[in-house]
């Protein structure tokens, strides 16, 4: 398990709120947004009892088997689409830099190793009377989760499964935070968009979205997926689950 003092020392000067157990790091981060927590503050836990995934799903892992954290951002509204790309890209590049093979991003932001999900990202914005007050970026990474006997056996993977050397959660966290910090400086740059787009692993392939089979042909500047039906009709998808094939 993590330790407050070690986290504070290792991540100094970043503000860190650590909990052995919490409902959801995103929920607390959204509360902290209203209490003037600065950009870069993270909420991190060893276990979540009400961890949330995309599309209203739950996200659960046994204590100490994942990285479960949320970063706070204060940013202009125009940067919100980039925040979504940031999380997936930072995790994807971290794993690549560690020498892990076949790492890619399944649109919009699932990080995969060999086509299996290793990390998910949940960005959420906070508004006050129509004005953006800030945003949070929740990241969950399977580090040593054992999927062998789980329903996700064929669709999920842990970082440890793809590495010959033991994965240390604190080391992995520091590497991901370093990538996040590096990209935050260039949130609005074409470079970030191109790096994210370059790691998408299903462009050019046939996918099924909400029962409709079409070809994923590109993403637009806001990160929406552009699909082409067999008759060439284009569709723009901003959120949802896509299946390969």
The contact set with ligand BTN (CB under 6 A) reads 24-26, 48, 51-54, 57, 59, 68-70, 110, 120-122, 138-140
CA distance linking residue 13 with residue 131, whole number of Å: 29
CA distance linking residue 2 with residue 143, whole number of Å: 14
Least distance from C-beta 195 to ligand BTN, angstroms? 20
Least distance from C-beta 51 to ligand BTN, angstroms? 4
CA distance linking residue 1 with residue 119, whole number of Å: 19
160 or 228: CB nearest ligand BTN:
160
Least distance from C-beta 118 to ligand BTN, angstroms? 10
The residue of the chain with the least Cβ separation from ligand BTN equals 120
62 or 234: CB nearest ligand BTN:
62
Per-residue tokens: 244? 């390969």
Per-residue tokens: 39? 């950009």
Among candidates 179, 193, 184, which has minimal Cα distance to 222?
Answer: 193
Among candidates 87, 150, 82, which has minimal Cα distance to 116?
Answer: 150
Least distance from C-beta 99 to ligand BTN, angstroms? 24
57 or 174: CB nearest ligand BTN:
57
């Amino acid at each position: 398990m993590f330790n407050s003092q070690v986290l504070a020392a290792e991540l100094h000067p970043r503000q860190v709120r650590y909990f052995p157990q919490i409902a959801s790091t995103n929920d607390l981060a959204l509360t902290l947004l209203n209490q003037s927590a600065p950009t870069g503050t993270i909420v991190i836990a060893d276990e979540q009892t009400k961890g949330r995934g995309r599309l209203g799903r739950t996200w659960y892992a046994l204590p100490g088997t994942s990285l479960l954290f949320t970063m706070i951002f204060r940013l202009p509204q125009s940067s919100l689409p980039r925040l979504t790309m940031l999380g997936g890209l930072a995790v994807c590049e971290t794993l690549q830099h560690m020498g892990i093979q076949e790492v890619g991003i399944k649109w919009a932001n699932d990080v995969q190793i060999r086509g299996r999900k290793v990390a998910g990202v949940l960005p959420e914005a906070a508004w006050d009377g129509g004005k953006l007050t800030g945003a949070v970026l929740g990241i969950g990474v399977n580090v040593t989760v054992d999927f062998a006997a789980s329903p996700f056996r064929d669709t999920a993977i842990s970082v440890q499964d793809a590495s010959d050397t033991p994965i240390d959660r604190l080391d992995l966290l520091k590497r991901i935070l370093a990538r996040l910090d590096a990209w935050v400086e260039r949130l609005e740059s074409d470079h970030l968009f191109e790096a994210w787009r370059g790691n998408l692993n299903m462009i050019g392939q046939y996918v099924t979205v909400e029962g409709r089979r079409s070809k994923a042909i590109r993403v637009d500047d806001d990160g929406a997926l552009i699909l082409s039906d067999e008759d060439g009709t284009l569709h723009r998808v901003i959120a949802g689950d896509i299946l390969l094939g």
